[in-house]
A and B are shown apart, each in its own frame.
Chain A
Amino acid sequence: MSSRPRGAGRGSSHNRPSRAIDRIAEPWGTRTPYAPVDGRSEWPVRVDRHISVKADEVEQWVQSACVLCSNGCAVDIAVSSGRMVGVRGRAVDRVNHGRLGPKGLFAWQATNSTDRLQKPWIRRGGRLVEASWNEAMDLVVEQSRRVMREIGGLGMGFYTSGQLMLEEYYTLGVIGKAGLGTPHMDGNTRLCTATAAAALKESFGSDGQPGSYTDIDHCDTICLWGHNIAETQTVLWTRMLDRLQGAQRPRLLVVDPRRTVPATMADVHLPVRSGTNLALMNALLHELIRSGSIDRDYIDAHCIGFDRLAAQVKGWTPERAASICEVPADDIRAAARIIGTARGLFSTVLQGFYQSNQATAASVQVNNIHLLRGMLGRPGCGILQMNGQPTAQNTRESGANGDLPAFRNWDNKEHVGELARLWNVDPMVIPHWSPPTHSMQIWRYAEHGSIRFLWISGTNPAVSLPELARVRRILAKNDLFVVVQDAFMTETAALADVVLPAAIWGEKTGTFTNVDRTVHLAQKAVEPPGEARSDLDIFLDYARRMDLRDKDGQPLIKWHDPESTFEAWKACSEERICDYSAMSYDKLRGGSGIQWPCTDASPEGTERIYTDGHFNTDPDVAETWGHDLETGAVVDEADYRAMAPAGRAFLKAAEYQPPPEEPDADFPLFLTTGRTVFHFHTRTKTARSPQLNGAAPTAWVEISPADAEPMGISEGDLVSVSSRRGAVEVEARVSGVRPGVVFIPFHYGYFDFTGNPRAANELTLTEWDPVSKQPYFKFAAVRVELVEKGGGRQSAAPTNTASAPAGPVASHTSGGAAGAAEENPE
């Protein structure tokens, strides 16, 4: 099936009103309602543009795609006098139909920031000083060689990002896995999407999203499972909003402890107690089975494990879950009715599930709901186990994280053999004796001293990892050599032994893949500043200097630029589910992004996978033998084969367990952390965009009126929030968050701030889901105390998002003239 729009009509601008909108005040812009008619449903085009020069001063528009969330909006970059001067959404693209979110519209300005890193830095006498590339890379190579000599590959660790390009990850993966032979490679994707991958693997045998964004166009029911989509994927939410305000409004179910924008519009909102998702899911499944709202024919033909699942959820009445989740049993029943009567069910899942207790077990139950209802693989019936970061899908695909490239199974000798033949190395070189090491364990080995070289690329663990005091302690260890590759002197870079200046988006060419498998080409529009180099060039240079060879003595890395890397990746992906083999840079230019698998048989890409109910569970193709969901115990090959899955999906079940840390007398509240629409990750870009930073300039804590009043806390007061691991001081926002839970955005660190600690991760705990190994950010027991009254002043938290005040709003979040972006410019 073609997923490439034909373009005709979509690019034309007739009938589209041209206007300027304050996109800080109105993050989702103007509505273009739509609805399915006679089985057809097309989201209207709305082209968003923000440029800092007059339109006729733009000399060139360069095709790219946005990297400010996982949605993958296609964008053209405006260039004038060799500088980036703005962006415009691409009307022709299947993902965004011309739209951009506030981060996409404004964060490009960081590229021109005067504090970009322009030269390498190395630590001398305890201080970072500027150095040449030769000096820096000589030091990196010397230290690599020393650790390889003293320990071997097990002493080397690589911690990368969800924000580099596919070509960069693949190259890094080959360097680590086939060159150095280290199993210790992972991405910060462990923090954001590891559970997405794990849940897909456990149910369907392999990573790879069954859904498509166009399912939103056709569905009649939308479920947002722990997903504040209005702020994390603004343009995808815009698509839903346009359906919600059109004819045939879909029903909306939201599970979230905060009163998010989607929650305010939901038919049923379940603000469950932190850490209890699995109890809710078991009750919903119980209700579906009890009421017979399941598709027995689909289950019999395409699933394994129904009896065990049914037995597992049998006792889970809505009343039982209600007593644990602290939501009304009738609301759980109402939610089950919405799901049970859906004709086109569309689900998205994100951090509220992925970063919470029993993450994989709970996320797998979303898959189970769709499997039991037979609602997969046709228009309107899809699941997106969401990604957080723009290129997280590629970290997972390419093997720069705790997986083998192209979703190969580390425990399948034939899969390892394929890679060894492709890379022309001895299979013994490629670590496959246990799962590639997950990032939390990499940090633990570094803490322990058995990893002594750690190369961090494109991420900022000194703000994003849990329990920051511990992370800073590890980064500062004398026996750990730390390389940081970044565009800015981040909190992490400041602790490194070598800092390598990296080119960023718009300064290099590469591809990346969004959450619905759409691949985009992001092209170089401007030169990087000073001596900054692309991450790909840095990795290629390292491989050369390390003299990494294949088994015939030829250079291991046989490619030299983005396009030749892409061609190498295509060969690696061929005949795997993420097959890119019929794509090319040329094909990705000009039109829309293309969804994998893209093969000779489906040269225009594939809109939905698993359309025939045949999943990737055959032992010869599966990415994993699976795990016990409660403990993470690995299923062995013989047991897997004995189940004879033969393309059927697994219905896996687990018993609810309370979270490992719960409030007590000393720390009586739950802390949950999360995101705001105006910032991305640790603000390295968004803090350098005046509109975005102005909208959310510093951290805050959201607290319910019921919790605030007895402590004498009101809006704008300075409060301390402390846990067993640390404390922060932030302003209080008395908001619609559920009683018993406080929320702090995780974005804020210290590179632009010198006051008392404010990073949410000072408080979080070092624990993770046993299957996906994703750390828990959604529950930590904390205590809130008043530090200083604010005198009635409103806190600086945004007012038009989930952080909206519970009481009256004195001053609304707005961007003023600077926040204006055009819709449908002439």
Chain B
Amino acid sequence: MNIGHYISLLDHSEQALAKAFREVGAKHRDEPDVMVMCNHLASQCEGHVTALQPFVERYQGSTSEDEPDRLHSDLFGGARSGSLALLRDFHDLYLMATEAEICWTVIAQAAQALRDRELLAVVHASEAQTSIHVDWLKTRIKQTAPQTLVAAR
């Protein structure tokens, strides 16, 4: 059984997303709505991580030892500076949030096959929030893109 790997991937994704939300929020504190919302979404990600911990432990033993490290990918190299910075940082966050979103889908499938009702409850509560993260980032990217690419110096 390999679900342990995937829970660990999800755990890693949510931790990385939380950290990136906080970093982007702090970096772009001059964009008034960004910091508050990024911090809010970061704390939701941190909540997901907490909710996942019992399952990280529950399925730890079921992991084959030689699963390659590259299951984990790094999508975020730190917040940027310059005129494209906000758009590119949102772009990174969007990719990270969609990674978390598809991880929740994957885990939901496995949890159903395992009849793990507790895990399924966590998935349902969390994946709805992650979808909102994706939607918010898309909304904000669509707003920012024209001004950044056409009007900004």
19 A-B pairs whose Cβ atoms sit less than 8 Å apart in the complex: A152-B150, A152-B151, A183-B146, A444-B31, A449-B152, A450-B151, A450-B152, A450-B153, A628-B132, A630-B40, A631-B132, A631-B136, A633-B136, A633-B138, A634-B135, A634-B139, A767-B32, A768-B32, A768-B33
Asked if A445 is at the interface of the complex by the 8 Å CB criterion, the answer is yes
Is the CB–CB distance between B139 and A440 below 8 Å? no
Give per-residue flags for B82-116: 1 if the beta carbon is below 8 A from chain A beta carbons, else 0: 00000000000000000000000000000000000
A contacts with B: majority SS = loop
Asked if B37 is at the interface of the complex by the 8 Å CB criterion, the answer is yes
Is the CB–CB distance between B132 and A434 below 8 Å? no
User: Which chain B residues (105-153) contact chain A, with CB distance < 8 Å?
Assistant: 132, 135-136, 138-139, 142-143, 146-147, 150-153
Question: Chain A nearest CB: distance from B30 CB in Å?
Answer: 8
Asked if A441 is at the interface of the complex by the 8 Å CB criterion, the answer is yes
Chain B residues with CB under 8 A of A633:
132, 135-136, 138-139
Is the CB–CB distance between B33 and A657 below 8 Å? no
Asked if A451 is at the interface of the complex by the 8 Å CB criterion, the answer is yes
Chain B residues with CB under 8 A of A660:
36
> Given B32, B36, B135, which contacts A628 in the complex, CB threshold below 8 Å?
B135
Question: Chain A nearest CB: distance from B102 CB in Å?
Answer: 18
Question: Chain B nearest CB: distance from A809 CB in Å?
Answer: 41
Asked if B52 is at the interface of the complex by the 8 Å CB criterion, the answer is no
Whole-angstrom CA separation of A450 from B153 in the bound complex? 7
Whole-angstrom CA separation of A660 from B150 in the bound complex? 32
Whole-angstrom CA separation of A151 from B147 in the bound complex? 10
Of all chain B residues, which has the CB nearest A448? Answer: B152
Asked if A13 is at the interface of the complex by the 8 Å CB criterion, the answer is no
User: Which chain A residues (134-179) contact chain B, with CB distance < 8 Å?
Assistant: 151-152, 154-155
Additional A-B contact list (5), CB under 8 Å, known A154-B150, A440-B33, A628-B135? A152-B150, A434-B143, A631-B37, A632-B139, A633-B139
Is the CB–CB distance between A154 and B139 below 8 Å? no
Residues of A within 8 A of B (CB): 151-152, 154-155, 183, 433-435, 437, 440-441, 444-445, 448-451, 628, 630-636, 657, 660, 766-768, 770
Chain A residues with CB under 8 A of B32:
440, 444, 766-768
Whole-angstrom CA separation of A154 from B33 in the bound complex? 21
Whole-angstrom CA separation of A451 from B151 in the bound complex? 8
Of all chain B residues, which has the CB nearest A441? Answer: B143
Question: Chain B nearest CB: distance from A576 CB in Å?
Answer: 25
Asked if B18 is at the interface of the complex by the 8 Å CB criterion, the answer is no
Chain B residues with CB under 8 A of A437:
143
Question: Chain B nearest CB: distance from A237 CB in Å?
Answer: 34
Whole-angstrom CA separation of A437 from B151 in the bound complex? 14
Question: Chain A nearest CB: distance from B128 CB in Å?
Answer: 10
Give per-residue flags for B62-81: 1 if the beta carbon is below 8 A from chain A beta carbons, else 0: 00000000000000000000
CB-CB nearest 4 A-B residue pairs? A633-B135, A154-B151, A633-B136, A450-B151
B contacts with A: majority SS = helix
Chain B residues with CB under 8 A of A435:
143
Asked if B49 is at the interface of the complex by the 8 Å CB criterion, the answer is no
Chain B residues with CB under 8 A of A449:
152-153
Asked if B41 is at the interface of the complex by the 8 Å CB criterion, the answer is yes
Whole-angstrom CA separation of A657 from B43 in the bound complex? 12
Is the CB–CB distance between A628 and B136 below 8 Å? yes
Whole-angstrom CA separation of A449 from B136 in the bound complex? 25
Question: Chain A nearest CB: distance from B113 CB in Å?
Answer: 27
Question: Chain A nearest CB: distance from B142 CB in Å?
Answer: 5
Chain B residues with CB under 8 A of A434:
139, 142-143, 146
Of all chain A residues, which has the CB nearest B152? Answer: A450
Question: Chain A nearest CB: distance from B47 CB in Å?
Answer: 11
Question: Chain A nearest CB: distance from B22 CB in Å?
Answer: 14
Question: Chain A nearest CB: distance from B31 CB in Å?
Answer: 7
Question: Chain A nearest CB: distance from B8 CB in Å?
Answer: 28
Question: Chain B nearest CB: distance from A143 CB in Å?
Answer: 16
Is the CB–CB distance between B146 and A770 below 8 Å? no
Question: Chain A nearest CB: distance from B98 CB in Å?
Answer: 14
Chain A residues with CB under 8 A of B138:
633-634
Question: Chain A nearest CB: distance from B4 CB in Å?
Answer: 31
Chain B residues with CB under 8 A of A628:
132, 135-136
Question: Chain B nearest CB: distance from A184 CB in Å?
Answer: 9
Chain B residues with CB under 8 A of A444:
31-32
Question: Chain A nearest CB: distance from B94 CB in Å?
Answer: 12
Is the CB–CB distance between A630 and B143 below 8 Å? no
Of all chain B residues, which has the CB nearest A155? Answer: B151
Of all chain B residues, which has the CB nearest A443? Answer: B32
Chain A residues with CB under 8 A of B41:
631
Of all chain B residues, which has the CB nearest A467? Answer: B32
Is the CB–CB distance between B136 and A154 below 8 Å? no
Is the CB–CB distance between B146 and A433 below 8 Å? yes
> Given B36, B143, B151, which contacts A767 in the complex, CB threshold below 8 Å?
B36
Whole-angstrom CA separation of A768 from B35 in the bound complex? 12
Whole-angstrom CA separation of A607 from B136 in the bound complex? 38
Is the CB–CB distance between A151 and B136 below 8 Å? no
Of all chain A residues, which has the CB nearest B150? Answer: A154
